[in-house]
């Protein structure tokens, strides 16, 4: 059943050639360029220039960057190597100081280094490679698990709406919200995916439509304001979205527009699922009211991407980057350890205790 599906891996190591192979997301969808990064300076630049985006993908790139940078060290002892390692770590940390996953990955590499105390230089270098590969492999496993749980909720032939990009190129592989699409594609589920273009940064048009098209998925691009009509016309049987942060009560921060899609889904009686790695579930955050919404520049709305500005000069804009979807609008929150249903403040903590 089904056809073999080539799901893009946007960050991977070619160790034989001491090279990090990285998909340049800044030139999508017009060009498909896989960069071959050999120097830590190249990795720094790729993170800084947003050539790699998506929290997990940034973490993976950083892990590999640490390995490649440290591998070049000519140190003879563990201590000398650690000194070189710290320079690499500090350098890469400066590439995108606001990216939480960057620091998480760098610290994880540091902890692994410390664990190898007393080992030879080649042994430590091998351990760093192993740790970087582990970061990637664990993320892939999380995505695959989310995908399997999500797939259990879907039926072949369904129309599925998604917003923004929670796809393979933002993670090790599969993505979160798009994972069940790829896993279903491998099983011949023949989903019809509708991708919101996701203004103002167009992640749906530039990234989601592109990566699904590459994998041979039946994808249709729509403007954000067309979600209502495709639901009304019976084209959508489920909505799947990713998330940036989930509060203990299930309130979910995700790309601007997500809450509107959830309200439409409820109106049309369509299930609305959030795909959330447990790393995004923050039990310390009690409700969505505790989530700060970043406001971004006017220019993203008025002139970015355009040949010339499409709004009058000096017009006021309001450009929140995220919105919070109320837990009452969410049918289920799909984690790598299972699916949480309301009341979420009871079901979500249990996910952390689950073992698969």
Q: Is residue 316 involved in binding a second copy (CB under 8 A)?
A: yes
* 55 assigned ligand-binding residue: yes
Burial of 85 (0-12, 13-18, 19+ CB in 10 A): buried
Distance CA(123)–CA(138), nearest Å, equals: 22
Which residue pairs from 33-36 have beta carbons closer than 8 angstroms and sit at least 24 positions apart in sequence?
none
228 binds a second copy (CB under 8 A): yes
Q: Toward a second copy, which CB reaches closer, 100 or 315?
A: 315
Please identify, using beta-carbon distances, which residue of 219 and 330 lies nearer to a second copy: 219
Residue 199 annotated as binding? no
Instruction: State yes or no: 345 annotated in a binding site.
Output: no
Output 63 or 200, the one with its CB closest to a second copy. 200
| Cα–Cα distance measured from residue 185 to residue 193, given in angstroms and rounded to the nearest whole number | 11
Q: Are 98 and 53 in contact (CB under 8 A)?
A: no
- Name which of residues 274 to 313 contact a second copy (CB under 8 A): 293, 301-302, 305-313
Which region among 42-50, 145-153, 241-249, 314-322 touches a second copy (by CB under 8 A)? 314-322
Residue at token pair 């279903």: 184
**Closer residue to a second copy, CB minimum distance, 145 or 302:** 302
How far apart are alpha carbons 247 and 281 in whole angstroms? 6
Contact call for residues 212 and 206 (beta carbons, < 8 A): no
The residue annotated as part of the active site, out of 139, 244, 251, 323, is 244
Query: Who contacts 146 (Cβ-Cβ below 8 Å, separation ≥6)?
Result: 174, 176, 179, 180, 275, 276, 277, 334, 335, 336
Query: Is 289 annotated in the active site?
Result: no
User: Would you count residue 318 as binding a second copy (CB under 8 A)?
Assistant: yes
Active site residues: 244
Binding-site ranges for a second copy (CB under 8 A): 28-30, 194, 196-200, 202, 205-206, 209-210, 213, 218-230, 232, 256-257, 259-260, 263-264, 266-267, 293, 301-302, 305-313, 315-320, 323
């Amino acid at each position: 059943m089904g056809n073999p599906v080539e799901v893009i891996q946007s960050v991977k190591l070619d160790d034989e050639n001491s090279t990090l192979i990285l998909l340049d997301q800044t030139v999508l969808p017009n060009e498909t360029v896989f960069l071959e990064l050999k120097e830590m300076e190249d990795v720094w630049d790729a993170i800084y220039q947003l050539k790699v985006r998506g929290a997990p993908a940034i973490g993976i790139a950083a892990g590999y960057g640490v390995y490649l940078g440290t591998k070049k060290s000519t140190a003879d002892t563990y201590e000398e190597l650690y000194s070189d390692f710290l320079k690499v770590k500090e350098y890469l940390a400066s590439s995108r100081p606001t990216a939480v996953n960057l620091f998480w990955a760098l610290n994880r590499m540091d902890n692994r280094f410390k664990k190898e105390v007393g080992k030879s230089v080649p042994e430590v270098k091998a351990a760093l490679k192993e740790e970087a590969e582990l970061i990637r492999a664990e993320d892939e496993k999380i995505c695959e698990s989310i995908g399997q749980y999500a797939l259990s909720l879907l039926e072949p032939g369904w129309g599925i709406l998604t917003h923004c990009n929670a796809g393979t190129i933002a993670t090790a592989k599969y993505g979160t919200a798009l994972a069940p699409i790829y896993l279903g594609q491998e099983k011949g589920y023949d989903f019809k995916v509708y991708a919101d273009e996701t203004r103002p940064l167009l992640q749906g048009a530039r990234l989601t439509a592109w990566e699904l098209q590459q994998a041979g998925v039946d994808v249709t691009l729509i403007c954000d304001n067309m979600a209502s009509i495709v639901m009304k016309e019976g084209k959508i049987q489920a909505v799947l979205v990713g998330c940036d942060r989930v509060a203990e009560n299930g309130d979910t921060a995700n790309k601007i527009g997500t809450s509107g899609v959830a309200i439409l889904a409820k109106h049309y009686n369509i299930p609305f699922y959030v795909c959330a790695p447990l790393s995004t579930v923050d039990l310390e955050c009690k409700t969505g009211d505790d989530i700060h919404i970043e406001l971004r520049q006017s220019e993203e709305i008025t002139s970015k991407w355009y040949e010339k500005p499409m709004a009058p000069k000096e017009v006021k804009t309001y450009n929140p980057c995220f919105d919070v979807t109320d837990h009452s609008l969410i049918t289920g929150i799909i984690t790598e350890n299972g699916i949480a249903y309301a009341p979420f403040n009871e079901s979500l903590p249990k996910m952390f205790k689950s073992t698969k």
